[in-house]
Chains A and B, each alone.
Chain A
Amino acid sequence: MEKKQESKEKLFTKKELNKLAISSAFLQSSFNYERMQGTGWIWTIAPGLKKIYKDDKEGLKKSMKTHITFFNCHPFLNSLVSGIVLALEENKTDLNTVQSIKVALMGPLGGIGDSILWLTALPLIAGISAQLALQTNSIIGAITFLVLFNIIHLSLRFGLIHYGYNLGINAVGKIKNSVQIVNRAASIVGLMVVGSLVPQFVHANLGINITLGEMNVNLQETLLDPIMPGLLPLILTYFLYKIYKKGANPLMIILLIMLIGLIGSLTGILVA
């Protein structure tokens, strides 16, 4: 059996990766309810994609289409995804695989980030620093906060992009040798994550109350939720998927959703 040469030149230098780590801090530019961090995500890896695709316009376009989609991750840990994705892109991994791996990573990283960073590290450091500020009556509190918090923040942001990139480079040989197997595995994990994101991120609740005998009951709580929680989000997502596939204009749909929200609120049919 011939062994694949893995000691191939890496496209990105350490310095370039550090620059990409800085741009990874711009993940939440244009944050919006539709794609969440999607528009920011493509921006954070743009310099990398440019370098990888150079003059290959068609390839770049296909890749950009992969990266302008829904993305939501913890805004520090996204640099790990950047590193892995750039390594895979650099080695011209099948874009479906890249997309699935990206989605499979963003979900759990978002969850880990929420629980460890947003709900543990931040309140802990903020609490200690605020107490310190009140006790000493000086800016030591503020300085302590900035220093402690950013040691964690920056070491994750810079550390993870290198780690992710090397991880991706090392794994890419295996991935390429078994494209179908990896693609299938990544698709399974990716789609399970997407399935779980539907009830987690999409919210639609009926506000309609009906009178049953002497009781005034809410249709959502007494009828829909017992049948299936997240039923409306599921129907909505499926419906939008169908009409998008048929060529409906996303912009029109977004404006329509806003209109439905406003009418639903005014009439009380929908509640937040």
Chain B
Amino acid sequence: MDTSIIQIMLIGLVTGLAGLDILVGLTHFHRPVVLGPIIGLILGDVQIGIIVGAMVELSLIGAAPLAGAQPPNVIIAGMSAVFFAISITNLEPEAAVALSLPFAALMQAFVTLMYNLFSVFTAKADKAVEETNFNKITILNLTTLFIVFISYFILSALIASMGEQAQIFVNIIPTWILNGLTIAGGMMPAMGLAILLSIMFKKEYAPFLIIGFVLSAFFGVSIIALTLIAISIAMYDMLINKKIDKNKGGISNGKKAGI
């Protein structure tokens, strides 16, 4: 089946919007179970869109962005699986899903690249804050959202126009660069936390920082358990301080009485 220019553009548009939805908006129309039928509609076969979309959904069911870690990209997986199932004659839905996975991995790599790139942009946000300029922050955020949109648009349009041939792009970024960016992405939050600490940290609170680190690093305590422990410590600290204050008050009152 040949895909027309209008179909390619529509696929790019819908996939681009889905790319925005996974970050902002979050109506979750980007999940394959919904995106599948929409791509199917554009290509003139809603039925296959429904079936393949649902199958991709079931195979990627646990894929959610936990703590900023990127699972294989559900949007490109859903989009390309439906596209292959419809455009390649006699292709089994299962095979279409399998065919889509390299592209999902490619987009995952691209997303890693973007999140590294956007780290560089935070310097611009700091500058906007120095100038108390909210418009600059708006422009910055719209710029990054546009980059996200256009990335999804381009990749999905390439897949829709080149079909399986688009696989040549899968190896476009060398593995060592990809690994390097993943490693860098892993170290990057240290900077964000360092800035946060420069605002929050005082020497007298060092023990609590250490306790938090130890509970998480050594014992893998969940954040909820950790918060409850933290609240308990804070409550104890509050009560002890109240008692000390009271005793102080008592002593000074005693002194006064003595005089």
Contacts and interface: CB of A to CB of B under 8 A. Distances in A.
A61 B132 contact: yes
B26 A196 contact: no
B28 to A, nearest CB: 5
A61 B130 contact: yes
Interface of A: 25-36, 38-40, 42-43, 46, 50, 57, 60-61, 64-66, 68-70, 72, 75-76, 96, 99-100, 103-104, 107-108, 110-112, 114, 118-119, 122-123, 126-127, 129-131, 133-134, 137-139, 141-142, 145-146, 149-150, 153, 181, 184-204, 228-230, 233-234, 236-237, 240-241, 244-245, 249-251, 253-255, 257-258, 260-266, 270-272
Contacts of A99: 199-200
A198 B223 CA distance: 12
Contact of B194 (A36, A201, A244): A244
Contacts of B62: 119, 123
B129 to A, nearest CB: 4
Interface residues of B, number: 103
Interface of B is mostly: helix
A57 B130 CA distance: 10
Contact of A133 (B50, B115, B235): B50
B228 to A, nearest CB: 9
The 10 closest A-B pairs by CB, nearest first: A195-B212, A261-B184, A203-B186, A265-B180, A33-B188, A230-B217, A32-B118, A192-B212, A111-B223, A70-B192
B253 interface: no
A142 B194 CA distance: 43
A160 to B, nearest CB: 14
A268 B195 CA distance: 29
B233 A111 contact: no
B238 A184 contact: yes
Contacts of A265: 176-177, 179-180, 183
15 contacts: A30-B121, A40-B24, A70-B196, A108-B224, A110-B67, A123-B61, A126-B33, A129-B57, A145-B28, A185-B238, A189-B231, A194-B193, A195-B210, A195-B216, A260-B187
Given A29-B141, A193-B227, A126 B31 contact: yes
Contacts of B192: 34-36, 38, 69-70
Contacts of A184: 234, 237-238, 241
A136 B62 CA distance: 23
A60 B27 CA distance: 32
B183 A270 contact: yes
A99 B58 CA distance: 41
B249 to A, nearest CB: 15
A237 B200 contact: no
A191 B123 contact: no
Given A46-B134, A141-B33, 6 more contacts: A33-B184, A42-B125, A130-B58, A131-B58, A193-B227, A229-B217
| B37, B68, B233: residue with the most chain A Cβ atoms closer than 10 Å | B68
B67 A114 contact: yes
A217 to B, nearest CB: 21
B120 interface: yes
A254 B29 CA distance: 34
Interface in B206-250: 208-218, 221-224, 226-227, 229-231, 233-235, 237-238, 241
Nearest to B218: A229
B154 interface: no
Contacts of A141: 33, 50, 54
Given A46-B134, A145-B34, A261 B226 contact: no
B165 interface: no
Contacts of B118: 30-32, 39
Interface in B172-206: 176-177, 179-202, 205
B189 A201 contact: yes
Contacts of A68: 122, 125-126, 129
A82 to B, nearest CB: 15
